[in-house]
């Protein structure tokens, strides 16, 4: 029977993360902002980031015909930003990022496949990484007794994640997004989706940012100007998958598709399931947004700095009959493979402009 108790080195508690970051020797750790509830947004950077002062916003740089007036140019060291737990208790990615920090600080592979760990150490010499293990600390601190959702039934998971209305009924997904921001008079329990101001950071009021967490994130993005931004989520008992971003140019989808294809190959070798969410993507990557697609946090981050944005959903191991259920070891392995594939792609494409990435370089060409 699957153990509900996480391993001792499964790190998702904010005080433990703060202590590890304070003791970091190889990474440059700090606090990039504060949440609505006053909790720190801990971040750590590995690798140098030497950029000239930009002469334009990304939007105006693109309009000038040269995005290099804002962001890095071809051949310069690529930068990858990864953040987890934007929904507070989606902690699988948090634990994996702490495994990555442990690897980069000590050289010891923990949680990942040994081959992936060694590859990540090599790749780290060629990239800059900025890591934010908990992007919504208010939601995380609302249930400090939990280190993961593994083993919970669906009702208990929804209560903790989405909360409960004033009549005590558990808020479901996606109906919980119908009221936003969530106000105290409407709820009995505020779920971990939200910060203490009742805002789900994924669906802030773009471009006018309401929550301080996103304000801090966008300040960091403007300072760092990352090339790739990966957001790590937990998706109840979904099959692990990358989610195609919405309201972005075709080149962003082409990069996503290339990374997805490499991740499919890795997953097959590792014997871990991965849903191919890009199977129907046209070869040129030109996808029109659907009627109900939203311009969300990932869309806004792309349009702010031009980065290739990626969103990964990991199985959370809930006790739900007839659904896939990963254990702690499988979750950690899956993230290790994801990190390796992403960094390999960032290094392989460093010699070209992000926008020049070819349609056929990243996935099967469409049948004629």
Q: What is the pLDDT of residues 244-259, one digit of tens each?
A: 999 999 999 999 999 9
Whether residue 230 lies inside any domain: the answer is yes
Is residue 53's pLDDT more than 50?
yes
Is there a domain that residue 70 lies in? no
Output the six-digit token pair for 255.
């990069």
On whether residue 167 sits in a domain, the answer given is no
8 Å CB contact between 161 and 140: no
Question: Among residues of the chain, what percentage have pLDDT more than 90?
Answer: 78
- Per the structure, the complete domain to which residue 31 belongs is given by 16-49+76-137+195-316+325-350
Tokens 């060291």 found at: 77
In a domain, 61, yes or no: no
- In this prediction, residue 193 has a pLDDT band, given cuts at 50, 70 and 90, of very high
| pLDDT grade for 359, boundaries at 50, 70 and 90 | low
Question: What would the mean pLDDT of 202-206 be, rounded to a whole number?
Answer: 94
Residue 87 domain flag: yes
In a domain? residue 189: no
Tell me: pLDDT of 361 over 60. no
Q: Does the pLDDT of residue 362 top 80, yes or no?
A: no
Q: Provide the domain count of the chain.
A: 1
> Given this model, what pLDDT does residue 48 score?
85
Residue 102 is given by DSSP the state H
Q: Rounded to two decimals, what is the model's pTM?
A: 0.95
pLDDT of residue 178: 87
Does residue 58 fall inside a structural domain? no
For tokens 């792309």, the residue is 302
Interval 6-41: pLDDT, tens: 999 999 999 999 999 999 999 999 999 999 999 999
Give the pLDDT confidence score for residue 192 in this predicted structure: 96
Q: Are 69 and 80 in contact (CB under 8 A)?
A: no
Q: What mean pLDDT is predicted for residues 43-62?
A: 87
CB under 8 A, 24+ apart: contacts of 326-330: 326/240, 326/272, 327/2, 327/3, 327/150, 328/3, 328/6, 328/7, 328/10, 328/95, 328/148, 328/150, 329/111, 330/272
Answer yes or no: is pLDDT of 360 > 60. no
Q: Is residue 188 domain-resident?
A: no
Give the residue, 359 or 109, on which the prediction is more confident: 109
The CATH number of residue 301's host domain is 3.40.630.10
Give the Cβ contact number of residue 112 at 10 Å. Answer: 24
């Amino acid at each position: 029977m699957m153990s509900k108790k996480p391993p001792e080195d499964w790190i998702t508690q904010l005080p433990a993360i703060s202590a590890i970051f304070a003791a970091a020797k190889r990474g440059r750790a700090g606090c990039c902002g504060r949440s609505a509830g006053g909790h720190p947004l801990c971040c750590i950077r590995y690798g140098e980031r030497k950029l000239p002062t930009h002469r334009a916003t990304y939007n105006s740089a693109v309009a000038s015909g040269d995005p290099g007036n804002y962001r890095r140019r071809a051949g310069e060291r690529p930068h990858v930003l990864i953040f987890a737990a934007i929904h507070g208790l989606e902690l699988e990615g948090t634990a994996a990022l702490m495994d990555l920090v442990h690897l980069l600080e000590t050289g010891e592979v923990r949680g990942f496949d040994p081959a992936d760990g060694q590859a990540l150490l090599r790749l780290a010499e060629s990239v800059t990484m900025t890591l934010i293990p908990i992007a919504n600390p208010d939601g995380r601190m609302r249930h400090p007794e939990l280190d993961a959702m593994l083993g919970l039934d669906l009702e208990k998971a929804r209560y903790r994640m989405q909360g409960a209305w004033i009549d005590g009924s558990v808020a479901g997904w996606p109906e919980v997004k119908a009221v936003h921001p969530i106000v105290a008079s409407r709820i009995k329990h505020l779920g971990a989706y939200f910060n203490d101001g009742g805002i789900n950071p994924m669906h802030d009021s773009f471009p006018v940012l309401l929550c301080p967490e996103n304000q801090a994130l966008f300040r960091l993005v403007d300072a760092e100007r990352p090339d790739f931004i990966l957001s790590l989520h937990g998706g109840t008992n979904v099959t692990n998958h990358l989610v195609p971003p919405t309201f972005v140019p075709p080149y962003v989808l082409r990069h996503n598709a290339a990374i997805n294809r490499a991740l499919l190959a890795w997953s097959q070798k590792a014997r871990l399931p991965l849903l191919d969410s890009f199977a129907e993507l046209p070869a040129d990557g030109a996808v029109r947004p659907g009627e109900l697609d939203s311009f969300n946090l990932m869309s806004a981050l792309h349009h702010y700095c031009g980065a290739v944005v990626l969103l990964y959903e990991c199985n959370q191991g809930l006790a739900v009959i007839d659904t896939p259920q990963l254990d702690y070891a499988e979750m950690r392995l899956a993230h290790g493979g994801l990190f390796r594939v992403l960094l390999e792609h960032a290094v392989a494409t460093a010699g070209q402009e992000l926008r020049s990435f070819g349609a056929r370089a990243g996935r099967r060409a469409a049948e004629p």
